[in-house]
Amino acid sequence: MKKSLILLIISAFSSVCYADAADWTPLLESMKKGCSVDSEALPYGKSDIGRLPAKYRASVARSHSRQTASDGEVLTIELKNSVAFGQPLSALVIESNEGYGHVKMKFARNADMSKLIPLFTTPTDKRRGMLAAGRAQNFCVKGANGTLKQYQSSRHHWRTVSSDGPWQEFRYHPKEHALSCLSSDYYGDEVECTR
């Protein structure tokens, strides 16, 4: 009985703590479907943090940015008292370049990743439904206009590559306790379907 009461108190306390936390879910919600990154909602440079609503600015512990070899920028935002999709969020790493976006969400060690991973899916076709991380799949679909799309998934990732350009990837990084989404217009040449 005492054990149950203690667990109930800890659970209630955790819920209260999350209730006051800055919830980044609305800014990251678009990533759930096809790893679509909402470039209007997220800051892509250190100077963009200032235009975030006050509740998000208040949750930024510190930030830093660096240039990439291809003239892009990687912005790391370390967070305090923040959640996303109901789990404690500790940092965002946002990389941007022309036609390319990559967002990595780093979660606290106590986050339940098993609840997060199934949220990130992408539709395939009517026969196969949704592509999700967790099972091994590799198949191609040919569109009416000759476009080829390749779908791949494994235990920790799924990837969709189209011969007309768009490319999306979702990945779970167990060692970092992180989830990432990549979206690009330029990687269509990586389709390995037979033509």
Side-chain half-sphere of 29: how many Cα atoms within 13 Å?
Answer: 6
Residue 11 lies in a domain: no
Average pLDDT of span 80-98? 94
Lowest-pLDDT range of 8-12, 62-66, 97-101, 104-108: 8-12
Closest CA to 49 of 38, 60, 40, 39: 60
- Reduce the DSSP state of residue 192 to 3 states and report it: coil
Average pLDDT of span 116-143? 90
Output the six-digit token pair for 5.
Answer: 């009461």
Q: For 32, phi and psi rounded to 5 degrees?
A: -65, -30
Residues 7, 64: Cα–Cα separation, whole Å: 38
Q: For 10, phi and psi rounded to 5 degrees?
A: -65, -45
Task: Give the residue, 79 or 1, on which the prediction is more confident.
Answer: 79
Q: Which residues pair with 74 in a beta bridge?
A: 66, 95
Q: Which residues pair with 133 in a beta bridge?
A: none
Lowest-pLDDT range of 18-32, 83-97, 126-140, 180-194: 180-194
Number of domains in the chain: 1
Domain of residue 84 covers 21-122+162-188
Residues 62, 75: Cα–Cα separation, whole Å: 11
Closest CA to 166 of 56, 36, 42: 36
Residue 85 lies in a domain: yes
Residue 152 lies in a domain: no
Residues 32, 9: Cα–Cα separation, whole Å: 32
Residue 142 lies in a domain: no
Residue 127 lies in a domain: no
Residue 106 lies in a domain: yes
Residues 170, 151: Cα–Cα separation, whole Å: 12
Residues 60, 27: Cα–Cα separation, whole Å: 14
Residue 132 lies in a domain: no
CB neighbour list of residue 184: distance below 8 Å, 6 or more residues apart: 99, 100, 101, 166, 167, 168
Q: What is the pTM of this model?
A: 0.84
Closest CA to 80 of 140, 17, 166: 17
pLDDT of residue 153: 94
Q: For 112, phi and psi rounded to 5 degrees?
A: -90, 90
Residue 183 lies in a domain: yes
Give percent of the chain with pLDDT exceeding 70.
Answer: 88
